[in-house]
Amino acid sequence: MTTITLNSITGLTYPYDVYVCDVYGNNCGYLVQINVSVPSPVEVVLPPQFNMSPAVGIKIITSDGCERFKIIDCNSIFPLPICDSSVVPPITINGITITETHTGSVGIYLTEYTSCGTVTTPVNSIWLGQSGAFTYTMNFSSTVNNITIFITGSGTPLGETFVFTTNTGTGIPTITSNENCYTTIVGNQITSGVGTSASGGGGKFLIHNSDNFTSLTISGNGGESGSLFSICSNSII
């Protein structure tokens, strides 16, 4: 799965309809409608036929008929590290201890769960938002960055939102994913599960901050029976 991140759209008024095309502006396919101003960064997933393309064209059309076309070099896309398994805080990974604090609807889900066909949260994963709003914070014993987290079981059929903040820099991290389903990323927020099947939406998400950090907080409104959360077992190297 290949994604691109739109960091800035200037001179146009949202909402934006975004299409991906070949570099000549042909063979276009609809990607997403963006209903907020950019920046914040917005990540979109490209259709499978563009996975090996060295470059693509991005076409943006607004509701008043304005259009913009830009060629994107796919070789500059930043991939996630490979991560096939995850673990649950509190835990120690490579000498760094992760503790947790939380408020609201946060619990434990006793069995493993798979969404998107390949994203699995383990037994005793963190159950976020089962019965309402929540705030969940991971605290690290030393500074970290580029943390990969797993989310499964979101939505079914309405979406759930997850807002990420850190304790350094602007406090607003960026989120990247090349393995997810029924998911949209806008700035530091994930919306997942809209229109999904019974197994729910989710994915693997890389959280990057401008400065290394010692706490990462996830908050959301919950609902739709909540979602499951874990952290990549090799997130901290």
Within a domain: residue 81? no
pLDDT for res 203:
93
Given a cut of 60, is residue 180 above it in pLDDT?
yes
Residue pLDDT, tens place only, 57-81: 889 998 888 888 887 766 544 455 6
Residue pLDDT, tens place only, 35-45: 877 766 777 77
CB atoms within 10 A of CB 153: 29
Tell me how far the alpha carbon of residue 3 is from its chain's centroid: 11
CA distance 192 to 52: 26
pLDDT for res 81:
61
The pTM assigned to this predicted structure is 0.69
Same domain, residue pair 97 and 207: yes
Close Cβ partners of 187 (under 8 Å, ≥ 6 residues apart):
39, 40, 41, 42, 172, 174, 175
Mean pLDDT of 128-153: 95
Q: Helix or strand or coil: residue 24?
A: coil
CA distance 79 to 77: 6
Q: Find the Cα–Cα–Cα–Cα dihedral 228, 208, 164, 36, rounded to 10°.
A: -110
Contact 160, 224 (CB under 8 A): yes
Same domain, residue pair 129 and 203: yes
Report the CATH number at residue 158: 2.60.120
Close Cβ partners of 212 (under 8 Å, ≥ 6 residues apart):
143, 144, 145, 168
Same domain, residue pair 200 and 99: yes
pLDDT for res 80:
57
pLDDT for res 77:
47
Same domain, residue pair 126 and 178: yes
